[in-house]
Amino acid sequence: MARVILLRFVSSVVLFILVPTVTFFVQTLTPGEVARSVLGIGATQEQIDAFNHRLGLDSPPLERYFDWLRHFSQGDLGNSYITGQPVSEILGSRIGVSMSLVIGALLVYSAVGIVIGVGSSVGGRVWGRVVDLVSTIGIAIPNFWLAVILISAFAVSLGVLPAIGYVPLSESPSGWLVSLILPVVALAFGGITSVAKQARDRMIATLDSPHTGVLRANGVSEASLVFKHALRNSAGPVITVLGLNFVGALSGSVVIENIFVLPGLGSQAITSTANRDLPVIQGIAVYFTVIVVVVNIIIDVIVPLLNPKVRRSS
């Protein structure tokens, strides 16, 4: 177990170095762009040179890279080219929004997915077909289209929920909740189906397994077979899928935040990309990577706890 976490940690370090490095070099392939997008098309060459010099953009890329790496290793993500604000400050105010959205989606697709999956596994063949059908439809509807449909239905037609915007939790807890309903549903929808499918498949596999037959024949109750044995056996694979979906939802949040105009990391990513605001993009890449790594480590810890066989083989 310790070995698994160590391995995960090592690969995380690689990931930490790799992602910002890739983003850095990809971005530096087009040096002049930053100044132009900040200063406008009409800027003179002198203005651009001065801008580049002020931000150290005229030094060689490698030098800038190691410079960045040194600051990065000290936890300093640098300042925005555009506003001059520290990156951690910009992102710090936004990460709460993104996490509200993504964790909200996690809760929704976990709860709904597991209930549907477990329910259909004991509900016979008709339920199974229904879940299959709904799953196919669920995966087929792109989240951004669903978001637009939801806005059309609940905000435009019915007018019961806000179409766009975000209310901070500190300002109004109920407003915060209401502002998140549509984005969370749009983001969670695709995840529900894969979680439900995985839960159902694992439950059915366990209920069909030799050990279930043995326990049943020797007097173990049906309730225990389903809710103790099958559920426990399914937990590991289901949690793995929850984690995969979480990573997917993180990517999806970029689109969803834009549609619902939520001031999170995702909408910042779009803005900063348009502006070539390298330090901010680097920062977002780092934040996203941290979240993915943390989620993976949590899964690595939980799954072996649920299944001792995995514990040993790892």
185-244 residues in contact with other proteins (CB under 8 A) are 190, 204, 207-222, 224-225, 228-229, 232-233
Question: Which residues from 269-288 bind other proteins, rule CB under 8 A?
Answer: 269-270, 273-274, 276, 281, 284-285, 288
- Best CA proximity match to 200, nearest among 110, 131, 302: 131
37 vs 93, which CB is nearer to other proteins? Answer: 37
Provide the minimum distance between the beta carbon of 25 and other proteins in the complex, in angstroms, as a whole number: 10
Provide the minimum distance between the beta carbon of 168 and other proteins in the complex, in angstroms, as a whole number: 24
50 vs 115, which CB is nearer to other proteins? Answer: 115
DSSP state of 86: B
Question: Which residues from 151-180 bind other proteins, rule CB under 8 A?
Answer: 151-152, 156-157
Task: Look up residue 164 and give its amino acid.
Answer: I
User: Is 188 within 8 Å of 252 (Cβ atoms)?
Assistant: no
Q: Is the dihedral of CA 174, 105, 223, 310 positive or negative?
A: negative
169 vs 226, which CB is nearer to other proteins? Answer: 226
User: Is 289 within 8 Å of 16 (Cβ atoms)?
Assistant: yes
259 vs 262, which CB is nearer to other proteins? Answer: 259
Rounded to whole angstroms, the Cα distance separating 56 from 50 reads: 10
Cβ-proximal residues to 290 (8 Å cutoff; 6+ apart), any chain: none
Site string for other proteins, 111-150 (x = CB under 8 A): -----------x-x-------x---xx-xxxxxxx--xx-
One residue of 76, 258, 298, 302 binding other proteins per CB under 8 A: 258
For residue 86, what are the β-bridge partners?
79
Provide the minimum distance between the beta carbon of 190 and other proteins in the complex, in angstroms, as a whole number: 8
Rounded to whole angstroms, the Cα distance separating 223 from 230 reads: 10
Provide the minimum distance between the beta carbon of 173 and other proteins in the complex, in angstroms, as a whole number: 29
User: Is 128 within 8 Å of 196 (Cβ atoms)?
Assistant: no
By CB under 8 A, tell whether 18 contacts other proteins: yes
One residue of 175, 289, 298, 302 binding other proteins per CB under 8 A: 289
User: Is 243 within 8 Å of 293 (Cβ atoms)?
Assistant: no
Provide the minimum distance between the beta carbon of 43 and other proteins in the complex, in angstroms, as a whole number: 19
41 vs 170, which CB is nearer to other proteins? Answer: 41
What does the angle CA 140 – CA 184 – CA 180 come to, to the nearest 5 degrees? 150
Radius of gyration of the chain (CA): 24
Provide the minimum distance between the beta carbon of 135 and other proteins in the complex, in angstroms, as a whole number: 8
Question: Which residues from 22-61 bind other proteins, rule CB under 8 A?
Answer: 22-23, 26-27, 29-30, 33
